Amino acid sequence: MSAAGARIGVITFPGSLDDGDARRAVRRAGASDVALWHGDADLHGVDAVIVPGGFSYGDYLRCGAIAKFAPVMTEVVRAAGQGMPVLGVCNGFQVLCEAGLLPGVLTRNSGLHYVCRDQWLRVDNNTSTWTTRYEPGAELLIPIKHGEGRYVAEEPVLDRLEGDGRVLFRYVDGNPNGSRRDIAGITDERGRVAGLMPHPEHAVDPLTGPTDDGLGMFLSALDTLVAA
Amino acid sequence: MTDPTREAATQDPATPNGAEPVDSVEQAARTPELDQPYRELGLADDEYERIREILGRRPTEAELAMYSVMWSEHCSYKSSKTHLKYFGETTTDEMRAKMLAGIGENAGVVDIGDGWAVTFKVESHNHPSYVEPYQGAATGVGGIVRDIMAMGARPVAVADPLRFGPADADDTRRVLPGVVEGVGGYGNCLGLPNIGGEVVFDESYARNPLVNAMCVGVLKSDELQLAHATGAGNKVILFGSRTGLDGIGGVSVLASETFSGDETGSGRKKLPSVQVGDPFTEKVLIECCLELYGSDLVVGVQDLGGAGLSCATSELAAAGDGGMRIDLDTVPLRAEGMNPAEILSSESQERMCAIVRPEDVDSFMAVCRKWDVTATVIGEVTDEEHLRIDWRGECVVDVPPRTVADEGPIYQRPVRRPAEQDLIAADDANTLSRPATAAELRETVLRMAASPNLCSREWVTGQYDHYVRGNTVLAQPSDGGVLRVDEETGRGIAVATDCNARYTRLDPYEGARLALAEAYRNVAVTGSKPVAVTNCLNFGSAEDPGVMWQFQQSVRGLADAAAELGIPVTGGNVSFYNQTGGDPILPTPVAGVLGVIDDVTARIPTGIGAAPGESLLLLGD
Amino acid sequence: MARVVVDVMPKQEILDPQGQAVANALPRQGFEGISEVRQGKRFELEVDDGVDDDTLARIAENFLANPVIEDWAVRRVES
Amino acid sequence: MARVVVDVMPKQEILDPQGQAVANALPRQGFEGISEVRQGKRFELEVDDGVDDDTLARIAENFLANPVIEDWAVRRVES
Ligand SMILES: Nc1ncnc2c1ncn2[C@@H]1O[C@H](COP(=O)(O)OP(=O)(O)O)[C@@H](O)[C@H]1O
């Protein structure tokens, strides 16, 4: 498959906000972007899926709690089971946790405020589908913007995540939300499904973001798709 | 899924047993002498007389509710109109060349080239934010965003000029965090980057905080929407949230005083005048509106803000070519037992009203269904001259719409330069002692850097998303916010809002000129060319001649400065009565300037030291 | 020591977007028959025996609830 | 029609920064003697009589609460 032949879908829920940005990032990485609709139980033959940031359904009950029941999510869960790469960013991460594709849950920031700032992250794992382009230990500057990003899971779950090398990114230079063990992003057992609170799609062009450090995530997935 | 058509069909008029008698037009004609609580509704004796004259009878409850809100200071600009004319008088044809819509529309619209247009406006939500900081500020953002949507634009950014009492005052500790969270909570959830604003502390704003919210929208210049109800037979569609009892405020005196009569019956006296915002519904409403506009399904559109349906129906009809008929029974309600006056006055948020050709109604409803937005046909445009509103088979409103929307009273309030103004001017800053030694200078600089009015705004701006939509090129702490409008060409815009109200207190005319000059400079230093001005004029009581003098002078200052700079004032907002007891706030005419930049990659960031060897130059004197 | 529960609910006439979102989502998950949902807050306090009902009411009214838009109720429970 | 209350509270072992913030603020307001505060959610549902306890439990467990971090309790009340 050529890069442009790779089709990456981006879901739009009512209340999604960063869907346009995720699609822009996909195009910037050289792949084709495909719009997916929450009410449409069809992935339209895409090769990977991004669940973008925002406030799906207003995030009123708990972030992501209502979105996990959207018809499109049934298909995402099915496809992820068959190994399709899936990335959840911010609200998308919350949705993937609620949907059971990733362990744990994202709770109210310990500072009790919404935080928007440029945040340093350290790459802990560069073997997942979404992180192969990074050197292990590399530090990235990527925006965060969330009110509920404190990653919480039971101790044994946290131990297992660390033991299996499934922590993708950790906050460095200050933990912005009180996440357990400074966790900013994780992956599933197979390294195909990834979720993180920071917004790589807002770090693809230094004109509109702090850096282009986020582009590597999209390029990483594209490498896998092209090689397949 | 809400089925909007079924919604309308099954809407149950729910006439409770022993329903209150409806105060119909017929009834009003039969009972001319009925005592009406017009004063409690804020109408003066002569205003009430004028309404009787217009109608040739006493108004019904519903009509009285309508006139009283529409003729309020907030909606009718009755004290300011006579001064605001000066903006029009000082705008030349040359300044007007790029203006697609100006003062009088929901928001001003400016052509920025390449087929793009930009609309921007500031509105105040001062008092509600004092009563309930979070919801007051949140619904302030929601309201200005709907104004921008009503022009046919996609809202693309917000900014929030704020004023509070002393930073260490107890009340500021209550108000400020709530306001900031409200602005952030609503704007972040709508996905609108916050690209500017101000945070100023001054004693005069204690108990009178100012929460001004700006929204900027972008559209193709041929996609402008207008708020008019034209074409007899066209349908009137109300869409968005249901109409509830919140935000009714003063009109509840109608229910308690004249309807039920007995004290126990109504329980309506304590209706909360506060509204609760639902940003998610508004976000969906934005996408729904844009799809409706894009499919050319709308003839005219108006947002529902202050004065709710009273305002939307009368303004749409007044700007149209005929009349309008509304069937109030079809309005989807959230509360039981609402009466016509309450339905017409409710300020429930997240609602819009559209005029739609009959053949487009099905397609309109389909778009609303897609976005799960409740939509209901509530009436139609007629070739009569009146706005007529029916309720349970009886006519409860029958008025010439222009008399409600456009022909409210105009006051020539007394204007007097306060005697103390000379004392203030005589108290010259040159008499203050200056730091004489290096140590004193150091101490002064440190004190200034730490002062609430100069310290970092990050506690505030860090709660606002400035990245969303991926087009923010400059935001806090830049002097002006810069946004990319066109990804192909890099064309973009800049905005800044400013006002130093202490200057305006010293000299309202010069202070207003300085406010505009500062916003103009803040736009210019981003590398953009300023093209238009909006404003939000926050003042004390219109009944205080000294305040009216400040107001008059500030308007003149702003207008003259705009003319001097050659850019038009395309709109604005007036907020009077920002005072507790006899002490008005500092006169605060916030100026907002819009600029255009041909290529955002050429923007100039604020700050020095980006590259070694930079030279520092001081321009001007 | 006593356990005190303070329930804070949005006033009836006030819009409750949270409760509404929950109510709208239930049928989508196959749960029928729930006509209305309102969402509020529940606080559980561990309170010294010396704290009287009046104090608790003031805490609820001035601090835990926003009386402009919310109603509250205080009750002592077995802990 | 019945009214059902669902209480959802953060699990004891989970950090509750909102409750903690309340607890810390109380002494500053002059309220002493409150040693711990936890903040959760309270839902009030209007439920058809046909909806059984088992269904309500599933709604609470799968939807209103996230069992990783929250406990829940359902009870029917007089309406
Ligand atoms: N309420 C606010 N909302 C958003 N941005 C704000 C707010 N207050 C201040 N800012 C931003 O913070 C920066 C610094 O503000 P300020 O100190 O007022 O700047 P200046 O003194 O240069 O006018 C500016 O970019 C301004 O737009």
pLDDT digits (tens, 9 = 90+) for B196-220: 999 999 999 999 999 999 999 999 9
Question: Given a cut of 90, is residue B240 above it in pLDDT?
Answer: yes
Question: How distant, in Å, are the alpha carbons of A108, A185, B479 from that of B528?
Answer: 39, 39, 12
Asked whether the predicted pLDDT for residue B20 surpasses 80, the reply is no
ipTM score of complex: 0.93
- pLDDT band at residue C17 using 50, 70 and 90 as cut-offs: very high
Number of CB atoms found within 10 A of residue B517's CB:
17
A98 inside 8 A of chain D by CB: yes
Q: Least CA distance to D14: which residue of chain A?
A: A152
Closest residue, chain D, to C43 (C-alpha): D39
Query: Within 10 A of C50 (CB to CB), how many other CB atoms are there?
Result: 8
**Does the CA dihedral A201-A204-A207-A211 come out positive or negative?**
positive
B near D: at least 3 beta-carbon pairs less than 8 Å apart: no
Distance CA A180, CA B121 (A): 43
Q: Would you please indicate which residues of A are annotated as catalytic (active-site) residues?
A: 90, 199, 201
- Give domain D2-77's CATH number out of 3.30.300.30, 3.30.1280.10, 1.20.120.330, 3.40.50.150: 3.30.1280.10
pTM of this prediction exceeds 0.90: yes
- Residues in Cβ contact with A114 at an 8 Å cutoff, skipping those fewer than 6 apart: A145, A146, A147, B181, B184, B185, B188, B463, B464, B465
Q: How far is B63 from chain A (nearest CA, A)?
A: 37
Partners of C13 on chain B (C-beta within 8 Å) are: 244-246, 271-272, 335
Mean pLDDT value across residues D10-24? 92
- What confidence tier does B2 reach under pLDDT thresholds 50, 70, 90? very low
B521 lines ligand 1 (CB under 6 A): no
As a whole number of angstroms, the distance between CA A2 and CA A5 comes to 5
Res B259: pLDDT: 39
How do the domains of chain A map onto residue ranges?
Answer: 5-225
Q: Do C22 and A69 touch (CB under 8 A)?
A: no
Residue B172 CB less than 6 A away from ligand 1: no
Ligand 1: which of B212, B216, B461, B498 to mutate, judged by most atoms within 8 Å of the beta carbon?
Answer: B461
At CB < 8 Å, which residues of chain D contact C?
A: 1, 7-9, 19, 22, 25-26, 29, 31-48, 50-51, 55, 58-59, 62-64
A5-225: what CATH class? alpha beta
Q: Flag whether pLDDT at C79 surpasses 80.
A: no
Name the strands in the sheet holding B323-327, side by side, starting at the edge strand that comes first in the sequence.
B300-303, B351-356, B235-240, B375-382, B323-327, B387-391, B394-399
Report d(CA B582, CA B572) in Å as an integer: 26
Cβ contact, residue pair C37, D44, below 8 Å: yes
Using pLDDT thresholds of 50, 70 and 90, give the confidence band for residue B254: low
Give the model's pLDDT for residue A160.
97
**SS3 for B119?**
strand
Average pLDDT over every residue of D21-33: 91
What number of CA atoms fall less than 13 Å from residue A47's CA on the CB side? 22
Name the DSSP class of B140.
Answer: H
Q: How far is the CA of B198 from the centre of ligand 1 (A)?
A: 5
Per-residue pLDDT of chain A (228 residues; tens, 9 = 90+): 888 889 999 999 999 999 999 999 999 999 999 999 999 999 999 999 999 999 999 999 999 999 999 999 999 999 999 999 999 999 999 999 999 999 999 999 999 999 999 999 999 999 999 999 999 999 999 999 999 999 999 999 999 999 999 999 999 999 999 999 999 999 999 999 999 999 999 999 999 999 999 999 999 999 999 998
Structure tokens at A2: 């050529």
Instruction: State whether D33 and C48 contact (CB < 8 Å).
Output: yes
Contact C18 A57 (CB under 8 A): no
Q: Whose CA is nearest to atom 9 of ligand 1?
A: B198
Check residue B268 and give its pLDDT.
46
φ, ψ of residue D57 to 5 degrees: the values are: -65, -40
- From residue B402, alpha-carbon distances to A118, B54, D76 in Å are 52, 11, 54
Give the mutation target among B198, B211, B608 for probing the ligand 1 site: most ligand atoms within 8 A of CB: B198
Does residue B247 register a pLDDT over 80? no
Q: pLDDT tens across B76-130, in order? A: 999 999 999 999 999 999 999 999 988 878 889 999 999 999 999 999 999 999 9
CA distance B155 to B36: 42
B422 close to B416: Cβ distance less than 8 angstroms: no
Instruction: Evaluate whether B130 touches B136 at the Cβ level (below 8 Å).
Output: yes
The label of the residue with tokens 């310290």 reads B455
Residues near D6 by beta carbon (within 8 Å), at least 6 away in sequence: D42, D43, D45, D56, D59, D60, D64, D65, D72, D73, D74
Average pLDDT score over residue span B422-428: 88
Least trusted range by pLDDT, from A54-68, B18-32, B508-522, C5-19: B18-32
* Contact criterion met (CB < 8 Å) for A111 and D17: yes
- Pick among D43, D63, D71 to test the A interface (most A CBs inside 10 A): D63
Q: Is the pLDDT at B189 greater than 60, yes or no?
A: yes
* pLDDT at B18 > cutoff 70: no
Q: Hey, which bits of B434-587 come out as E strands? A: 472-474, 481-484, 492-498, 529-538, 569-575, 579-580, 583-584
B610: alpha, beta or left? (left if phi > 0; alpha if psi -120 to 50): alpha
Q: Give the CA count within 13 Å in the CB-facing half-sphere of B55.
A: 26
Flag whether C touches B (3+ CB pairs, 8 A cutoff). yes
Cβ–ligand 1 contact at B462 (below 6 Å): no
The pLDDT score that the predictor gives to residue B99 is: 92
Section B184-190 average pLDDT: 97
Interatomic CA distance for residues D17 and D31, integer angstroms: 19
Say which amino acid occupies A136.
Answer: P
> Does residue B461's CB lie within 6 angstroms of at least one atom of ligand 1?
yes
Q: How many CA atoms lie within 13 A of D24 on its CB side?
A: 6
Q: Whose CA is nearest to atom 20 of ligand 1?
A: B479
Does position B11 have pLDDT exceeding 60, yes or no?
Answer: no
Residue B76 CA, distance from chain mean position: 13
- H helices of B409-507, in order, are 420-426, 438-450, 458-461, 501-506
Pairwise CA distance, residues B284 & B352, whole Å = 12
Average pLDDT score, chain C: 92
AA identity, residue B310 = S
What's the pLDDT at A176? 98
